Amino acid sequence: MSDTNLSAVLHKKGDLRLEERPIPEPNEGEVQLSMRKIGICGSDVKYWTTGGIGQFVVTHPMLLGHECSGVVSKVGKGVTHLKLGDRVAIEPHNICRKCEFCKSGSYNLCKDVFFLATPPDNGALARYHTHAADFVFKLPDNVSFEEGACVEPLSVGLHGCRRAGVTLGSRVLVCGAGPIGLCAMLSAKALGAAAVCMTDIDSKRLEFARKCGATHTLLVTKDDKPEDLATKVADLIGSAPQHTVECSGAQSSVNLGVLATRSGGTMVVIGHGPDNVSFPVYSVITREITLKGSFRYMNTWPTCLEMMSCGKIDVKPLITHMFSLEETLKAFETAKSGEGVKVIIDCEKKG
């Protein structure tokens, strides 16, 4: 074991430092992990550049990183399903296990949730990290650490598609072709969608989406009227989509999602844009559109890992950049620039 625990610590807006921290020891029910690959999420970049997201504000030094894979390096008391050397992916939270939401299976709604890299909770962008063992999942032999780090964003997309009711033969609209939109598209196709149309304001993102499997794409400009775009979506995929997954949070995108969704269909909002957005309520009412929120995920890690292992979902094309832990600042600058899709940091000490 390395005797150091190099860690990426955000002190305040714009102040991200590499520091040595003590190597954490696992408590009962926990495992210690030698971290391998960690993806940079848009929320990590947001905390770094603005110091907060909504009610979550960085008020004291905090480790970033919650898209994680690693190797079990110590096993705490009471842990029986994991052993030293296991390759794993991490569901990045812990919960109370006692409230009505935890007991009913909707543990993502637990009010006492601990979520990595969400103030005031530390993330895992370090050499070592300890985590609740029941939220640590073995990687199949044919799934890499890089893919393991992508289970988290894929889970966001899968949970959104489940909330939308995507199933065999569905026609789906995904608004926003960033990492989460791409993961929603991959999930929709794995669930059996016959057509998935993706919209975005960036033509390069849409070109990338087509390469990753989107069946149709539609470039959106600020001058487009949502009513016209809704017609174009229906023309592209043969009919109005029964299911819409909105992944940008932008006001114009929310409007498009509502207007494009087939009467009686379902629109799910994943994207976190402004705290308050309006939507065409008359269209929702008169066409009986079901409007749902989608928050993080629940019970997705085993499914995502199985779908990766059997080849039904391939996240490897999403991984565009790789940096060492020592290059964390460069990695964050790359993620901020938007030139990559999924930027991964390798936490393993070399040599």
**Residues 91-132 pLDDT 10s:** 999 999 999 999 999 999 999 988 999 999 999 999 999 999
Q: What is the pLDDT of residues 234-259, one digit of tens each?
A: 999 999 999 999 999 999 999 999 99
Residue 169's pLDDT band (cuts 50, 70, 90): very high
Domains: count for the chain: 2
Whether residue 170 is found in the same domain as residue 286 = yes
In a domain, 307, yes or no: no
Query: Where among 248, 263, 293 does a domain terminate?
Result: 293
Does some domain include residue 308? no
Split at pLDDT 50, 70, 90, the class of 1 is very low
Inter-residue contact 312 to 193 (CB < 8 Å): no
Q: What is the CATH number of the domain that holds 219?
A: 3.40.50.720
pLDDT tens figures, 290-327: 999 999 999 999 999 999 999 999 999 999 999 999 99
Question: For the chain, what is the largest distance between any 2 Cα atoms, rounded to a whole number of angstroms?
Answer: 65
Distances from the Cα of 172 to the Cαs of 192, 220, 260, 274, 297, in angstroms? 10, 17, 10, 24, 20
332 falls within a domain = yes
Helix axes 151-164, 301-309, angle to 10 degrees: 110
Please, what is the average pLDDT of the chain?
96
Helix extents (H) in the chain: 42-50, 100-104, 145-149, 151-164, 179-190, 203-212, 226-237, 251-260, 281-286, 301-309, 328-337
pTM to 2 decimals? 0.95
Residue 302 resides in a domain:
no
CA distance 269 to 196: 16
Structural domain that includes position 209: 157-293
125 within 8 A of 73, measured Cβ to Cβ: no
Are 336 and 347 in contact by the 8 Å Cβ rule? The answer is no
Residues 14 and 132 reside in one and the same domain: yes
Q: Is it the case that residue 2 has pLDDT exceeding 60?
A: no
